[in-house]
Structure 1
Amino acid sequence: MNDSVTAGPRSTLGERFKTLAAETPPPAEALARARAVRIPWGHILLALLVTRAVWLAIALWGDHSYLHAMAQFDGSWFKGIMTRGYDVEARGMSDGDAANWAFFPLYPALLWLVTLGGQLDPELMGVLLSNALLAVALGLGCRYLAITRPGAPLLLFVWLAASMPYSFYFSALYSESLFWLLCLASLIDWRCQRTGRVMLWTLLLSMTRATGVFWVIAMGIELVARLRLRAFAELWRRPDWLLIGVVGPLGLFLFMALLYHRTGDALAFSHVQISWGREMGNPLTNLIEGLSYWQSAPETLRPAWQASMALVGVGLIGWLGVQRRWLEMGLAGFTLFVPLATGLDAIPRYMIGMPVFVLALHDLLTRLPRTLAWGLVMLGALANLWLVENWYDTVFWLV
């Protein structure tokens, strides 16, 4: 009798975890789902128009230039790369030890193209470019949801991504929108096993941001998690998988070659990070120290807030792991912990710049009652308006 009593809850708990495990459809079925989904383009455009119109109204009310605000901070670095290329020597910021080597070349190259080589206003064209890239990325996000989360509410995802806190980065002259597009395209084609396309997307990812290189590593984590030791034998039967591992980081290597030609230092993109106070350390130590500010110096908002956002990221990574979404978990883990090892600055930006964090948040919202889920999205949109106002006031902790 005792055995039967204790076995019941264990079985129930096991069944609950089993129901959380994500489905991995065969490539043919994934492709069929991708082609069958009806992407809500009308809602995507409406969400972008409504949210951006509100942000513009806040700028006008505060007597700010919307376009200039969207091109400040890192946007000015991207504009500089577009107009004059990469610096030969460091000269930026107050100490004169910063340079634009930290910013990868694909986004400024696209900015150069849409401005017709600098003939059109880079601020206007940059805002239009970022929002156009985001619109396509949201369409791809809906397609990826249809493949990996059939039946998931697409409109909730669209409005969440368009209005959530820190979503204004997607309208700025920043590479977040481009990174989203390339990352979601690579995830879709990986699920459909269109490996030739995956090679292209991953190469472009590693030309967009340093975190793009982690895609290939996360792919290896998924293969080992799903196939275990058979993954190594399978690699020899799937040379296209090996080629992804070779081609994916080529974008970074090309950038390194460019920097070596320009500065004599192939790792200048990494070495220059010290100008922003970034030095390699222990991510756990940085996290704990940041959280301690809530108790020791609650008036010092920046490190405490950044650490709290990192803690949210850890929770979302764990949630992806519980669902056995290994590729998404790997991408999220590398995106959070590698920057966290160098400090707390810009942690929220790193998180929102990687779409799998938003997918994990969307997963959680879909498990809530519909009214509550939409209410939380609206609450996040209102919180974002406060962040937007601070952005216009050039508050540095939002960089």
Structure 2
Amino acid sequence: MYDPARTQMKTKIWAFLLFVHAAVLGCIVWLARSYGGIAAASCHWDCSDAYMRIVDQGYDRTSSLAAQWLGEANWAFFPAFPLTLRTIRDLTGLPAPDVGIILNAVLLPMLAWLCYQYQNRKWGPVDYRLYFLFFFTFPATLWFRVQYTECMFGLFLMGMAWAVLNSRFYVASLSALLLCLTRPTGILCVLVFAAFHIFMSWRRNVGYRGRERLQALTASVMDSTLLVLAGGTGISLFMIYLYRLTGDSLAFSHVQIAWHRVFHFPGYWVWFNLEHKTHVNLVVAAILDMIVIYKGFQKKLYLETTVLLVTFMVAFSSSLLSIHRIIMANPFFFMIVYACLMDMRPAVRNAFIAFFSVTLLVITVLWFHDTNLLY
């Protein structure tokens, strides 16, 4: 049924969302003028070393024998993002780095909208003005704007989360499949969602007895199984491709040994980096991650925080490499930070918006300078 007031409010929210998004993006584009433009200035590290190479040449057939890249290959980078870039590049004729910027500029408002809808539904009434000011100035959104997978991954994650929340498991399963074609950590998210869905169904139906309870539990198990099968299909498709290409279906994992990503007991890599005085910035990031995860459980955002915790433990135990992106650029991380900020006085919240804005601009300039502090 058409509701004029609701439609008007939705239009108002979208207008504010797009205004803030355009304003922040405009500032970043302006900053990039001195660095050759936004596309060239932002395409560093994984963008230039992996994604653009996959777009132009496809996946490597063998690992590199060059001294600088010994044992390395681009198999660790899942196909959803680079193949999307390649398709749009071929359709439009635009350079792939430009396509990456445009793609994420289009996806980011959709991600922000899903995060707002999800948190408004689960956590309570959310002031959309504050929400989008915090969201678009949040420092970790740097990786949502440059040619990286974080924005696409976040969109599929929130698509799955929103669909599960609304009991639309076919949509959730499609999102899970795409999520697991975007990054390997997608399967961890899918497994956590499936387990939580069964657990929450069991809790909701605790008052039922006998056949009714069994039917309800069976339905939730089937929904969760569909979710896991879809996610497993996504990662399996890439594994089958890698097997045909290299003879190693787990090449995406094995090749990371060349980056010194090896499993040890939790905390080993913190000690290693402190002892060797390397990547201390990543140690600080890991500590901040742990604090936010702890606060997430305090805020009773159990599902969202468990997704972060499981992802964090896998990354934390294998290396601190990119742990700031893996955790801080997850939409659930922002949701926890936002929930914490809402406990503060308005003046403090406004100060945080200013702090986030300045920090985002500073790290953006550092990124343009190709610094390894943010790698």
Q: Same fold (TM over 0.5)?
A: yes
> Is 1:42 aligned to 2:42, yes or no?
no
> Is 1:365 aligned to 2:341, yes or no?
yes
Query: 2:251 maps to what in 1?
Result: 268
Which stretch of the first structure deviates more once superposed, 149-158 or 361-370?
149-158
- Tell me, yes or no, if the aligned pair for 2:301 and 2:336 is still in contact at 8 Å: no
C-alpha distance in structure 2 between counterparts of 1:325 and 1:225, whole Å: 15
> Is 1:166 aligned to 2:120, yes or no?
no
CA RMSD of the aligned region, Å? 2.5
Partner AA of 1:280 in structure 2: F
Residues 83/220 of structure 1: CA separation in 2 closer, same or farther (3 Å cut): same
Please point out which of 56, 69, 74 is paired with 2:46: 74
| TM-score under structure 1 length normalisation | 0.83
| TM-score under structure 2 length normalisation | 0.88
Fraction of identical pairs, as percent: 23
> Is 1:146 aligned to 2:120, yes or no?
yes
Query: 1:384 maps to what in 2?
Result: 360
**What is the deviation of 1:229?**
12
Query: 1:126 maps to what in 2?
Result: 100
Query: 1:236 maps to what in 2?
Result: 218
Q: SS at 1:341's partner residue?
A: helix
**What is the deviation of 1:184?**
0.9
Query: 1:31 maps to what in 2?
Result: none
- Tell me, yes or no, if the aligned pair for 1:235 and 1:242 is still in contact at 8 Å: no
**What is the deviation of 1:128?**
0.4
Query: 1:344 maps to what in 2?
Result: 320
**What is the deviation of 1:153?**
2.1
C-alpha distance in structure 1 between counterparts of 2:19 and 2:328, whole Å: 21
Query: 1:188 maps to what in 2?
Result: 162
Query: 2:301 maps to what in 1?
Result: 325
> Is 1:210 aligned to 2:187, yes or no?
no
Please point out which of 88, 92, 102 is paired with 2:61: 88
- Tell me, yes or no, if the aligned pair for 1:202 and 1:212 is still in contact at 8 Å: yes
Partner AA of 1:185 in structure 2: G
**What is the deviation of 1:345?**
1.6
Paired residues in the alignment total 358
- Tell me, yes or no, if the aligned pair for 2:299 and 2:339 is still in contact at 8 Å: no
Which stretch of the first structure deviates more once superposed, 379-388 or 63-72?
63-72
Residues 247/188 of structure 1: CA separation in 2 closer, same or farther (3 Å cut): same
- Tell me, yes or no, if the aligned pair for 2:194 and 2:225 is still in contact at 8 Å: no
- Tell me, yes or no, if the aligned pair for 1:235 and 1:241 is still in contact at 8 Å: no
- Tell me, yes or no, if the aligned pair for 1:90 and 1:99 is still in contact at 8 Å: yes
C-alpha distance in structure 1 between counterparts of 2:204 and 2:136, whole Å: 41
Partner AA of 2:292 in structure 1: L
Which stretch of the first structure deviates more once superposed, 339-348 or 99-108?
339-348
- Tell me, yes or no, if the aligned pair for 1:198 and 1:244 is still in contact at 8 Å: yes
Query: 1:16 maps to what in 2?
Result: none
**What is the deviation of 1:353?**
2.7
Query: 1:8 maps to what in 2?
Result: none
Please point out which of 217, 237, 241 is paired with 1:258: 241
- Tell me, yes or no, if the aligned pair for 1:256 and 1:267 is still in contact at 8 Å: yes
C-alpha distance in structure 2 between counterparts of 1:319 and 1:306, whole Å: 20
Unaligned residue ranges in structure 2 (runs of 5+): 1-5, 207-212
Query: 2:175 maps to what in 1?
Result: 201
Partner AA of 2:38 in structure 1: Y
C-alpha distance in structure 1 between counterparts of 2:246 and 2:25, whole Å: 39
Residues 352/131 of structure 1: CA separation in 2 closer, same or farther (3 Å cut): farther
Q: SS at 2:10's partner residue?
A: coil
Query: 1:284 maps to what in 2?
Result: 267
Residues 104/35 of structure 1: CA separation in 2 closer, same or farther (3 Å cut): farther
Partner AA of 1:370 in structure 2: P
- Tell me, yes or no, if the aligned pair for 1:161 and 1:358 is still in contact at 8 Å: yes
Please point out which of 325, 332, 344 is paired with 1:356: 332
> Is 1:136 aligned to 2:136, yes or no?
no
